[in-house]
Amino acid sequence: MAVIARLLALPGSLFYGWRIVGLSVIANFMGTGIYTYGFSVFFLPITRDLDLTRAQTSFIYSLSQAEAAIGGPPAGWVTDRFGPRKVLFWATIIVCAGYLMLSQVHSYEIFLLIYLGMVSLAHNGGWGYAIQSCVNSWFIRRRALAFSLSLAALTGSGAVAAPVLSWLSQQVGWRTALIIAAAALAIVMLPVSQGFVRTPESMGMLPDGELPPVAGAAPRKAVVQHEFTTKQALRTAAFWHLTLATMLRLSVINVVNIHFVPIMVWKGMSEPQAALALGAMSLTGIPLRIALGWLGDRTGSKSGIIAAGMFLGTAGILGLQFASDQWQLWAFVAVFACMQSVIPLNWALIGDFFGRKSYATVRGFMAMVYTAGIMATPVAAGAVYDNLQSYEPVVWALALSLGASGVWFALLRPPKPPVAMVVAAG
């Protein structure tokens, strides 16, 4: 921890908000690489080891989504109340302890209890709210770029974590692989969590690193940030419109994250090949995420860019449905990676629409709604395969949902602000 603190205290002209982004890259890389991509890689080994159906294994993840729906508002409130540093520190301890305990479990019921009561609960609170809330607080003008850089680690982690965890699972088993992952997470995240400072104002700075107005200097264009309370945000049509569009998008991401390896195996890949494809899909989207974040800030058309990404993803899923050769499967991987590159703009929109002060709580209520609508989708996908030995109906449903999401994002409009607050000039 002292090493990280000394590095962050080094003098220099770099705005501390970009250091926050750097820390968030490390945190997202470690946390999501194990939690999200690890579950997909371990899906088949866990199913075999615990003698489960695919629906039962999917049910574990779906229950974690239900937990996220119920716990979204309180998790957001805790983050807004106590700040990201404390939340992320304790979340790391709980998640790592949960992974160690899961590695010793041989009962489906105990696995559910530990995964839901420790791993999922702490991860959703720490990585789901604390990090993004902090990034949102440090930027206004460059919010989309900051989110894109921060969340690029989500895809980058898949490029590394998926093949590494798959290799470890093949060599030493998923249980030992999970122990190694827990140790690595603790070693990195406990010191990193200490660098998350809640707001630029707490360090005598302004968002985006803007300088205070100088007396006698020519006036510069003001940055106006509309601030909504949670109650005010919930009363806007934009909140519900954005929530529905997000729900339709996440219903697809949810199924693909959990069933990617099984779907690729169904289409003819081996398990190691599918894990490699998952990693490649993650890596491919990193440059495009950053470019689209920059474009979103420059053009102000975040919802339009997201809509275009959803339509492209729909085309990719339809291509997957009819794919029969390896190159066609890899084409789907490339197209789907492009679709996922617009995801950071989705979270930046929440800050653009509703401000900085209640970001985590507003997002928590949004998560409560959209998660309730998507938590059963991985289980349904697993049940379809268990009954039909085919993912074909699932793939058709994914294309329909992603296309509908694109339509809703294309129609999205910002809310009318209740109060406008000038935050900085620049």
Choose between 423 and 56: higher pLDDT: 56
DSSP H or E segment with residue 424: strand 420-425
pLDDT band per the 50, 70, 90 thresholds, residue 3: very low
Residues forming beta bridges with residue 223, ordered by sequence position: 424
DSSP state of 16: H
DSSP H or E segment with residue 223: strand 222-226
Provide mean pLDDT across the span 25-46: 83
Residue 84: closest CA among 135, 8, 32 = 135
DSSP state of 216: T
pLDDT band per the 50, 70, 90 thresholds, residue 63: confident
What is the separation of C-alpha 104 from the centre of its chain, rounded to a whole number of angstroms?
28
Q: Where are the domains of the chain?
A: 15-202+223-425
CA angle 422, 423, 426 (to 5 degrees): 95
Q: What is the dihedral of CA 13, 19, 20, 23, to 10 degrees?
A: -170
**C-alpha atoms less than 13 angstroms from C-alpha of 289 in its C-beta half-sphere:** 26
* C-beta separation of 223 from 210 below 8 A: yes
**67-124 pLDDT, tens per residue?**
776 777 787 888 888 888 999 999 999 999 999 998 888 888 898 889 888 888 888 8
Name 49's Cβ contacts closer than 8 Å, sequence gap at least 6: 174
pLDDT at 55 over 80: no
DSSP state of 419: -
Helix, strand, coil % over all residues of the chain, rounded to 5: 80, 5, 20
Provide mean pLDDT across the span 231-237: 92
* C-beta separation of 242 from 350 below 8 A: yes
3-17, 55-69, 160-174, 273-287: which has the highest mean pLDDT? 160-174
Share of the chain above pLDDT 90, in %: 28
pLDDT band per the 50, 70, 90 thresholds, residue 53: confident
Tokens 């910002």 appear where? 414
Q: What is the dihedral of CA 171, 177, 179, 181, to 10 degrees?
A: 130
Provide mean pLDDT across the span 405-419: 89
pLDDT at 215 over 70: no
**277-323 pLDDT, tens per residue?**
877 787 777 888 888 888 988 887 899 999 999 999 999 999 998 98
Please compute Rg for the chain using Cα positions. 21
What architecture (CATH level 2) is domain 15-202+223-425?
Up-down Bundle (1.20)
Share of the chain above pLDDT 70, in %: 90
Helix 302-321 crosses helix 392-410 at what angle (to 10 degrees)?
160
Main-chain phi, psi angles of 422, to 5 degrees:
-80, 120
Q: Give the pLDDT score at 219.
A: 52
pLDDT at 29 over 90: no
Choose between 153 and 327: higher pLDDT: 327
Q: Give the pLDDT score at 393.
A: 93
Average pLDDT, the chain: 84
Report the C-alpha gap between 226 and 218 in whole angstroms: 24
Residue 258: closest CA among 33, 67, 37 = 37
Alpha helices in 285-391 (DSSP H): 286-299, 302-321, 326-340, 343-354, 359-374, 377-388
Provide mean pLDDT across the span 162-172: 85
Helix 343-354 crosses helix 131-138 at what angle (to 10 degrees)?
60
